[in-house]
Amino acid sequence: MVYDNGKGSYPPWSRIPGLNEMCEEAGVDFDSFIKDLEIGTDFNDMAAKYGVSMNTISLLKEHFIKYGLSSVMGGD
């Protein structure tokens, strides 16, 4: 049996959680977080607003920059 690993051969789901799931897990309001990124809110202000560390805000922003809103992978 021959396997064709060409286009469409990979599952169309994500291997890592989307940003909305990560925000929910951290207790950060997703819509508000995106708005804060859009207007350039300072990390200190965001950390205080959401009650999380600056490291958490930094990691969420890094995820957004690297993967966007979701990280769906697939070959289709």
Q: What is the pLDDT of residue 52?
A: 97
Residue 13 has, within 13 A of its CA and on its CB side, a CA count of 1
Q: What is the pLDDT of residue 17?
A: 80
Tell whether pTM > 0.75.
no
The residue whose two tokens read 């995106």 is 34
Burial label for 59, CB within 10 Å (0-12, 13-18, 19+), is middle
The residue whose two tokens read 């064709």 is 4
The residue whose two tokens read 């992978």 is 73
Structure confidence by residue, pLDDT tens digits, 39-53: 999 999 999 999 999
- What mean pLDDT is predicted for residues 11-32? 84
Considering the chain, what is the average pLDDT of its residues? Answer: 82
Give domain limits for the chain. 19-67
